[in-house]
A and B are shown apart, each in its own frame.
Chain A
């Protein structure tokens, strides 16, 4: 649930990047942080969580304009997937407004993707959220690796295995080059704001 901060006339919402280890969650955020530097307020926080990194920063997307005279401030997070980080995960996922699930296109990561999606489902459930109702988009990352001759899963297979029931918007990306990163985030923001307006019964 977004926070309306009347003192600062801001609406704060939280978008979380979820996905299996080394799928490119942090690469996504790294790229956004650099490419949209002007819209980022404050510094990036990076915490080392057992082989992975957990990132956080604040983002003021210009193109969103104002909602009822309030600026929209977005907190972007990645969440540590490893089992032991329950309190960190809880802290990050609590009150989440929108989610990006980053799936790894590498054939060898097929099972990891499915397990991680299942985890997300369970974690959301534990915090009283329904994966079918939370604004969610999916990114099929590392598409560029096909050129290097590394076996990737075809998009159709990934759609079928990960998105058959969810039916959420999906985007191809190569986070390391920045391809598809902006598009993924913009669409997630769009869904998130639509859902916020609905929640706050703002029809405009």
Chain B
């Protein structure tokens, strides 16, 4: 970066609105760069004497580009003092831009850049509700050993088959589906940067594929270097390895549960039998535990009642891990425990520090697992609600 670097930091700490205010209050002239791992190139805002005069975000320019950057809520920023040759094409009061920008984010008029997008896909003519599209950060090619190409309709992985490969989507859309008693259920749509295949595929000798992956467009996949991943996994602490395994288990269970709700085999009556709550949804619980004996269950409270999500057993963890945004306990789900549940606390600061020091690949895989869990849970709750509505309307 140029010598004029004036200040930089993370968007987690200061939002774009706050950064522009600080530069504005100091009458700064220069270029504000915003970097997000979900965007191919940085966003640029040109400031003259504290006021934004022009901006660039991909193909967008001017005010439109500036507003779009308010949707970048994760990432890094840096401001460098340098002469700005741009003509003022924005001509709008600084505070008005800031307040209007954040209002449009709140109103949903500016899309928020992140791992899940809900944008309508017009190519889906089947009339199905469009599944959210899961994306990941830009792919680290160090882990890609080979590239494979698939055409629309090709099956990449077939449920029930054995397989040891894991891929990252380089380009295109992959649909994940599962067979249920009520027919095939579409679960997720994966796109650039998301992972296909479970980490158990390189952890165990021969693992059975739990769902089907199909190419929905021309898809380019990067085959991951399982040897390298296995080495990195082996280098992790026992605690973190257990967390990763349990996370994979959580996604599998959440998916099975979704299939059960879809096939209307709601086992809510069996769920929670003889169990008592240990973490209430919304409770401020900062600890994380691993189960040494007994069982725990996770459920989300909704307006239509409790939605069973999954059951955990020995070796699984539960609680609040700050780097996992899986939309479960403690903020968005409750934990219930069997009478014989025994726990041992995990070292959260230690896990966080280790996670932050992990190579990119594993951090991305863990992030992707958490996103998939969160989306699967959301769909399960929606299906549960529809089922509930159908039942109540039938009863009337």
Q: For residue B109, give the distance in angstroms from its CB to the closest CB of chain A.
A: 12
Asked whether, in the complex, the Cβ of B103 is within 8 Å of the Cβ of A88, the reply is yes
Q: For residue B193, give the distance in angstroms from its CB to the closest CB of chain A.
A: 25
Asked whether, in the complex, the Cβ of A56 is within 8 Å of the Cβ of B106, the reply is no
Q: Which of B98-117 contact A (CB under 8 A)?
A: 98-100, 102-103, 105-107
B95 interface residue (CB < 8 Å to A): yes
| Residue among B17, B96, B99, B105 with the highest chain A CB neighbour number at 10 A | B99
Chain A residues within 8 Å of B100, by CB: 47
For A46, give the chain B residue with the smallest CB separation: B96
Chain A residues within 8 Å of B95, by CB: 45, 56
Interface size range of chain B in the complex: 10 to 19
Chain A residues within 8 Å of B107, by CB: 50, 84
Q: Give bound CA distance, A92 to B21, whole Å.
A: 11
B392 interface residue (CB < 8 Å to A): no
For A82, give the chain B residue with the smallest CB separation: B106
Chain B residues within 8 Å of A84, by CB: 106-107
A80 interface residue (CB < 8 Å to B): yes
Q: Which of A95-146 contact B (CB under 8 A)?
A: none
B25 interface residue (CB < 8 Å to A): yes
Per-residue CB proximity of A50-73 to B under 8 Å, as 1/0? 100010100000000000000000
Q: Give bound CA distance, A80 to B100, whole Å.
A: 12
Q: Give bound CA distance, A123 to B17, whole Å.
A: 19
Q: Give bound CA distance, A43 to B102, whole Å.
A: 20
Q: Give bound CA distance, A43 to B93, whole Å.
A: 8
Q: Give bound CA distance, A47 to B107, whole Å.
A: 12
Q: For residue A40, give the distance in angstroms from its CB to the closest CB of chain B.
A: 13
Asked whether, in the complex, the Cβ of B93 is within 8 Å of the Cβ of A45, the reply is yes
B277 interface residue (CB < 8 Å to A): no
Per-residue CB proximity of A5-22 to B under 8 Å, as 1/0? 101000010000000000
Q: Give bound CA distance, A86 to B26, whole Å.
A: 27
Chain B residues within 8 Å of A200, by CB: none
Q: Give bound CA distance, A86 to B102, whole Å.
A: 9
Asked whether, in the complex, the Cβ of B18 is within 8 Å of the Cβ of A5, the reply is no
Q: Which of A18-59 contact B (CB under 8 A)?
A: 42-43, 45, 47, 49-50, 54, 56
Leading 3 A-B pairs by shortest Cβ distance: A45-B96, A88-B102, A85-B106
Interface of A toward B, CB cutoff 8 Å:
3, 5, 7, 12, 42-43, 45, 47, 49-50, 54, 56, 80, 84-88, 90-92, 94
